[in-house]
């Protein structure tokens, strides 16, 4: 399969960037040596098949290692792995949600990764226990309609969105994994009581609820609501399609819970009987070329040191003063987060 056949390439600049990735991947000595000897891996992926399949195909072409892909919701796949236990066929888990990875880590389902793999990304974006490594990062932002909102009037903190001037003007996606990870992170920063109070305050302030981040962005673009809590790349994708779209991202103040950075993570399952080949895949996903592919396709931040984002006007990742959160902790609290969201009434808002 050619990477250029992916329907998500939307501009000549993107096409040229992916051509560069394809050529470089074909020459990548790290994964081309030795051959796969007919080996086969099973990958459970919370990332969509249209994104992940082309890069897995390239890995197979370069190594001879076949890959069976099972895509799905990250949290659902994590529960499936836990239910399957020692009989799980999964060798590698690629999670869109750090909470799902943390859940498996808490249940001792993940193998330790070598230091030379972990150290390719900053410490904030890998497991403190050494059992997963970040592939790409997403910054939580407030997207706003520039026709309806003056940037000077935007709040410094996500906690300010319960104020009267934002009544009925903000959209969230309470059942979405990234919002739930954000709320779990908020719990770690300000505690359960204050987090529940914020959720209840949002409900009392007539927050508007949507199924996912895409729906929030569309509502903001249409002027249905002027503000929405999303991941940064949704607006970057929209502006790549249509530079005239009247939306921009707003970063909250340094250290604010609203400026949280969430990661897509990769790990090797502790029950895998193909650990050497599984590790080769994780290493491949951290190669410069694979990181550039993810950045070009998703507009997320590549997490490997020295690889630049595809969008050149994004603030540098190390310049974003995000609050420090042990992302591994997001897993153990995911069920409690869902309880708080339900108790607040947000899912019914």
**DSSP secondary structure string, 84-106?**
HGGG---SEEEES-HHHHHHHHH
| Domain assignment present for 173 | yes
Residue range 215-256, pLDDT digits in tens: 999 999 999 999 999 999 999 999 999 999 999 999 999 999
| Domain assignment present for 322 | no
Would the pLDDT of 3 be above 80? no
Q: What is the mean pLDDT of residues 331-335?
A: 73
More confident residue, 140 or 348: 140
H or E stretch at 60: helix 49-63
The whole-number pLDDT of residue 331 equals 66
Asked if 236 and 168 sit in the same domain, the reply is yes
Q: What is the mean pLDDT of residues 112-124?
A: 96
Asked if 55 and 179 sit in the same domain, the reply is no
Which CATH number do you get for residue 125?
3.40.190.10
Residues 6+ apart with CB under 8 A from 251: 139, 141, 259, 315, 320
Q: Which CA distances in Å does 101 have to 19, 120, 167, 268, 299? A: 32, 19, 35, 11, 22
| Domain assignment present for 323 | no
The whole-number pLDDT of residue 329 equals 66
3-class DSSP state for residue 244? Answer: coil
Q: What is the mean pLDDT of residues 123-133?
A: 93
Share of the chain above pLDDT 70, in %: 87
The whole-number pLDDT of residue 315 equals 87
Asked if 44 and 121 sit in the same domain, the reply is yes
Asked if 199 and 172 sit in the same domain, the reply is yes
Asked if 341 and 312 sit in the same domain, the reply is no
- Decide: 56 and 13 in contact? Cβ < 8 Å: no
| Domain assignment present for 321 | no
Strands 208-209, 170-172: pairing is parallel
H or E stretch at 53: helix 49-63
The torsion defined by the Cα of 86, 90, 94 and 95, in degrees rounded to 10, comes to: -50
Asked if 56 and 110 sit in the same domain, the reply is yes
Domain hosting residue 113, numbered range: 3-137+261-316
More confident residue, 330 or 197: 197
| Domain assignment present for 255 | yes
Asked if 225 and 154 sit in the same domain, the reply is yes
pTM check: above 0.75 = yes
Asked if 211 and 301 sit in the same domain, the reply is no
The whole-number pLDDT of residue 342 equals 95
Residue range 49-58, pLDDT digits in tens: 999 999 999 9
| Domain assignment present for 228 | yes
Would the pLDDT of 17 be above 50? no
Would the pLDDT of 332 be above 80? no
The whole-number pLDDT of residue 312 equals 76
Rounded CA gap, 44 and 77, in Å?
7
Q: What is the mean pLDDT of residues 175-192?
A: 91
Asked if 13 and 146 sit in the same domain, the reply is no
The residue among 215, 228, 221 whose CA lies nearest residue 168 is 228
Asked if 40 and 57 sit in the same domain, the reply is yes
Least confident of 36-40, 63-67, 132-136: 36-40
Write down the residue that tokens 């750090």 correspond to.
98
Residue range 287-330, pLDDT digits in tens: 999 999 999 999 999 999 999 998 878 888 888 999 988 766 66
More confident residue, 63 or 6: 63
Other CB atoms within 10 Å distance of the CB of residue 179: 24
Asked if 12 and 45 sit in the same domain, the reply is yes
| Domain assignment present for 324 | no
- Decide: 123 and 101 in contact? Cβ < 8 Å: no
The whole-number pLDDT of residue 24 equals 44
Structurally, the chain folds into a number of domains equal to 2
| Mean pLDDT score of the chain | 88
| Domain assignment present for 85 | yes
25-29, 36-40, 123-127, 322-326, range with greatest mean pLDDT: 123-127
What is the rounded end-to-end Cα distance, in angstroms, of the chain?
44
More confident residue, 87 or 102: 87
- Decide: 92 and 268 in contact? Cβ < 8 Å: yes
Asked if 238 and 255 sit in the same domain, the reply is yes
The residue among 228, 210, 215 whose CA lies nearest residue 141 is 228
The whole-number pLDDT of residue 98 equals 82
């Amino acid at each position: 399969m050619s990477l250029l056949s992916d329907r998500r390439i939307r501009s000549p600049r993107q096409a040229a960037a992916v051509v560069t990735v394809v050529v470089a991947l074909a020459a990548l000595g790290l994964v081309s040596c030795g051959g796969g000897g007919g080996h086969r891996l099973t990958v459970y992926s919370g990332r969509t098949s249209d994104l992940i399949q082309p890069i897995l195909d390239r890995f197979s072409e370069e190594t001879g290692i076949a890959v069976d892909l099972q895509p799905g919701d990250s949290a659902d796949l994590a529960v499936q792995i836990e239910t399957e236990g020692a009989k799980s066929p999964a060798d590698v888990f690629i999670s869109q949600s750090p909470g799902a990875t943390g859940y498996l880590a808490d249940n001792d389902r993940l193998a330790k990764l070598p230091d030379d793999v972990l150290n390719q990304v900053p410490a904030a974006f890998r497991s403190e226990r050494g059992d997963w490594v970040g592939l790409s990062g997403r910054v939580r932002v407030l997207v706003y309609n520039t026709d309806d909102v003056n940037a000077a009037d935007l709040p410094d903190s996500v906690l300010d969105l319960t104020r009267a001037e934002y009544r009925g003007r903000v959209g969230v996606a309470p059942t979405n994994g990234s919002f739930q990870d954000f709320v779990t992170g908020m719990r770690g920063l300000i505690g359960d009581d204050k987090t529940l109070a914020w959720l209840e305050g949002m409900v009392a302030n007539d927050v508007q609820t949507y199924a996912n981040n895409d729906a929030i962005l569309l509502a903001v673009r249409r002027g249905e609501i002027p503000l929405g809590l999303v991941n940064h790349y949704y607006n970057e994708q929209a502006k790549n399609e249509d530079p005239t779209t009247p939306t921009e991202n707003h970063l909250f103040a340094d250290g604010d819970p609203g400026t949280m950075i969430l990661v897509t993570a990769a790990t090797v399952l502790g029950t895998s009987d193909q650990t050497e080949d599984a590790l080769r895949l994780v290493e491949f996903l951290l190669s410069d070329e694979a990181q550039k592919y993810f950045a070009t396709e998703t507009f997320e931040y590549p997490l490997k040191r020295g690889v630049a984002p595809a969008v050149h006007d994004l603030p540098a990742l190390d310049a974003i003063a995000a609050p420090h959160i042990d992302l591994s902790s997001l897993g153990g609290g995911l069920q409690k987060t869902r309880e708080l969201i339900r108790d607040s009434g947000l899912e019914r808002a």
